[in-house]
Amino acid sequence: MQTIENTNNEIHENLIERTDIRNVAIIAHVDHGKTTLVDGLLKQSHIFRDNQQMGELIMDSNDQERERGITILAKNTAIRYRDVKINIIDTPGHADFGGEVERVLNMADGCILLVDAAEGPMPQTRFVLQKALELNLKPIVVINKIDRKDARIDYVIEKTQDLFLELATDDSHLDFPILYAIGRNGVAMYKPDDEQKDLQPLFDTIVNHVPAPKVDADAPFQLLVTALDYDDYKGKYAIGRIIRGRISPNTAIARIDRSGEVSRQKVSLVFSYIGLQRGEVAEALAGDIIALTGVADVNIGETLADIDYPEALPLIEISEPTLKMTFGVNTSPLSGREGKFSTSRQIRARLYRELETNVSLRVVDGNTPDEFVVSGRGELHLSVLIETLRREGYEIQVSRPEVITRESEDGHLEEPVEHLVIDTKDIYMGVLTEALAARKAQLTNMINDGNDNIRIEYDIPTRGLIGFRNAFLTLTKGNGAMNSLLKGFVPWMGKINSSRMGAMIASEQGTAVIYGLNNAQVRGDTFIEPGTPVYEGMIIGLNARPDDLVVNVCKEKQKTNIRSSTSDISVRLTPPILMSLEQSLDFINNDELVEVTPKTIRLRKRYLTQHERSRMRPHND
């Protein structure tokens, strides 16, 4: 270790450069290959036994992460390369989970920015790079997936350099190495045409370019809690990087909450990371990323400090939510049949518990004791929460997402606007332009690569994006990708008219039968199969006309004593449209709800009976 004299006559008398450690975050846009690259780093650092089968996407341990193919939660791991321990922080790439990026980047001294060799910098690339440069992290740029047929390396490097020029706040930010990689094959090169061997060039660049932490290990202890974990044996883990000092088990410390209140706590155990495991250590020094147990009530953003010097660190600034939904107790006639937790007390306790770890989320009590207003960063952010509750056995009903507006200084209503980037074939330009114009989108840029592929960029109000993802997949026949990022707030842009047709609504409670569904399919598309339990007010299909239509899908064919040679031939139904949770949230109108249980997703009217709907119609309009 090298000692560096510090001229400031504060608590820190001298700083020590810990050359045995590097703290680096991996940041990128969604699907640019972060988690796959971390797989390669873990495997090539030989932290697993030779006979240990780890598979792929090792860091995506959450079921939803594996199913959706995205990283949702930021996670730490650590590897050894020669005599250096490299702490790696894997971050989400989707804009809806930007809060996860914001809360963990301050644990790092450097960052690896991954950019797809074909797509180039995308909206989330700008967001995560801006956050990294604000924290003065040393960047390493890795152009990934250079084996793609449509790779355009020179163009991507040029656009990446333009992005750095735009976002850099210091000359040192423009001094970054560029590597080339095929994360899936576990290879990195200094030049695109170098021999493809392994990830050693990346390991060497991390060690040589990411600064070693400069810390004062003898100063009073200080740690900012940036993540939490829990297990049944050791309780809650407080995870963060030691800013100064050292910590060992059975030490008394001070906990400083977000309001500045100080309480006395005692650390039970201290854990350090190596690979995917946490191991107990006798002592940890400044610069280490650790986990502590014993501080039961700690929350993200709080400071743990020396008992004699309870000094708080700056709070983590998290961007505010842009969408809100109402979560409520399931009030349908089928409630309580499929879920373990369905009371308002259970739902409320679970939502407020989520706030401990989900830093971008906001929860407030609703207008009635059975409702809760939940605010998040986007549709995906909220739908992941709903799916998590559903898998845990909760039964709820949720409303259509709404944007969170605010009032400007001069008293005008403002709404969030997003920068939308679409990559698709140029033949879909017309239908997309028409659909987006109806949603108040304004074209800002268009690039045609000469091979029938285009990138079009829009500024669009956040509410214009609600329900657009499914329309986009239909309009482009699946030949496209769309990404968006919050840009800011603008004056309210006026009403957006819904283009959805009316709903087909069940008229009575019972079980759907073939005869009733066949009659319904004459009027439109159905969402349910024969044998599905239904109730009055449940949405069973989409009408071919703009108005809602009440139908009886439980109606049996009338029995007579007259028989014909064709009477017993079975009716052939058109297969129903089965919608996912996200599709259901996109589909519903303001007077409709999605009923979510561990086994079923149902659509329903907010008011179930025809009488109630007629009485409340003036209020809905």
Residue 588 sits in a domain whose CATH number is 2.40.50.250
Residue 163 and residue 278 in one domain:
no
Lowest-pLDDT range of 120-129, 152-161, 458-467: 120-129
What pLDDT, on a 0 to 100 scale, did the predictor assign at position 55? 47
Give the pLDDT of residue 599.
Answer: 92
**What per-residue confidence (pLDDT) applies to 332?**
92
Residue that is last in its domain, among 212, 241, 257 = 212
Q: Please identify, among 423, 456, 491, the residue that sits at the C-terminal boundary of a domain.
A: 491
pLDDT score recorded for residue 130: 85
Whether residue 57 is found in the same domain as residue 151: yes
> What mean pLDDT do residues 100-108 have?
81
Residue 1 has pLDDT above 60, yes or no: no
pLDDT (0 to 100) of residue 395: 94
Kindly tell me if the per-residue pLDDT of 569 is higher than 50: no
What distance, in Å, lies between the first and last C-alpha atoms of the chain?
70
Give me the mean pLDDT over the 468-495 stretch. 84
Write down the pLDDT at residue 507: 92
Are 34 and 146 within one domain?
yes
Q: Choose the final residue of a domain: 181, 212, 243.
A: 212
Q: How confident is the model at residue 550 (pLDDT cuts 50, 70, 90)?
A: very high
143 and 233 share a domain?
A: no
pLDDT at 66 over 70: no
Q: Give the chain's mean pLDDT.
A: 84
Distances (CA, A) of 339 to 102, 392, 531: 35, 9, 20
The residue assigned the tokens 């700056």 is 314
Cα 255 from Cα 169, distance rounded (Å):
34
Binding residues: 31-36, 144-147
Whether pLDDT at 7 is above 80: no
Most confident residue range from 2-16, 94-108, 278-292, 485-499? 278-292
Q: Check whether 547 has a pLDDT greater than 70.
A: yes
Report CA-CA distances (Å) from 68 to 64, 230, 384, 497: 6, 24, 10, 31
Residue-number span of the structural domain to which 241 is assigned: 215-306
Both 545 and 582 in one domain: the answer is: yes
Contact of 105 with 140, CB cutoff 8 Å: no
Distances (CA, A) of 13 to 65, 139, 221: 45, 29, 14
Q: Does 2 have pLDDT greater than 60?
A: no
| Shared-domain flag, residues 106 and 47 | yes
Q: Is 344 exposed, middle or buried (0-12, 13-18, 19+ CB in 10 A)?
A: middle
Could you read off the pLDDT of 136-189 as tens digits, one per residue?
899 999 999 898 888 889 989 999 999 999 888 888 888 899 999 988 888 999
Confidence of residue 620 (pLDDT cuts 50, 70, 90): very low
Residue 535 scores a pLDDT above 90:
yes
Lowest mean pLDDT segment, chosen from 47-51, 227-231, 266-270, 424-428: 47-51
Interatomic CA distance for residues 172 and 552, integer angstroms: 70
Q: Beta-carbon neighbour count of residue 7 at 10 Å? A: 4
Comparison of pLDDT for 40 and 343, the residue scoring more: 343
User: What is the mean pLDDT of the segment spanning 42-48?
Assistant: 69
442 and 533 belong to one structural domain: no
Across residues 524-548, what is the average pLDDT?
A: 92
Largest Cα separation within the chain, whole Å, is 104
Give the CATH number, domain containing residue 295: 2.40.30.10
What's the confidence (pLDDT) of residue 478? 80
Where do we find the tokens 């009590």? 365
Band (258; pLDDT cuts 50, 70, 90):
confident
Q: Are 424 and 449 in contact (CB under 8 A)?
A: no
193 and 255 both lie in a single domain:
no
Q: How confident is the model at residue 540 (pLDDT cuts 50, 70, 90)?
A: very high
CATH of the domain at 108: 3.40.50.300
Mean pLDDT across the stretch 537-549? 91
Angle at 517 between CA 599 and CA 548, to 5 degrees: 85
C-alpha span between 51 and 137 (Å, rounded): 37
Q: Is the pLDDT of residue 565 over 50?
A: no
* CB 221, CB 253: distance < 8 Å: yes
Q: Cα 19 to chain center, whole Å?
A: 34
Measured distance CA(273)–CA(240) in Å, rounded: 11
Question: What integer is the mean pLDDT of 253-267?
Answer: 89
d(CA 407, CA 387): 32
pLDDT of residue 68: 58
pLDDT of residue 74: 65
Tens digits of residue pLDDT in 277-336: 788 899 999 889 999 998 888 888 889 999 998 998 888 777 788 899 999 999 999 998
Buried b (16+ CB within 10 A) or exposed e, 15-52: bbbbeebbbbbbbbbbbbbbbbbbbbbbbbbebeeeee
* Residue 511: per-residue pLDDT: 93
Q: What percent of the chain has pLDDT over 70?
A: 89
Q: Which of 440, 421, 418, 436 is nearest to 485 (CA)?
A: 418
Q: How confident is the model at residue 6 (pLDDT cuts 50, 70, 90)?
A: very low
Instruction: Judge if 458 and 521 occupy the same domain.
Output: no
Q: Residue 95's pLDDT band (boundaries 50, 70, 90)?
A: low
Domain count for the chain: 4
State whether 487 and 612 are in the same domain: no
3-state DSSP call for residue 529?
Answer: coil
Give binding residues for GTP as ranges.
Answer: 31-36, 144-147
Q: How confident is the model at residue 96 (pLDDT cuts 50, 70, 90)?
A: low
Cβ atoms within 10 A of the Cβ of 592, count? 20
Q: Are residues 171 and 27 in the same domain?
A: yes
Q: Is residue 49 part of a domain?
A: yes
Q: Confirm whether 438 is domain-assigned.
A: yes
Q: In this structure, which amino acid lies at residue 595?
A: E
Assess whether 154 and 186 both reside in one domain. yes
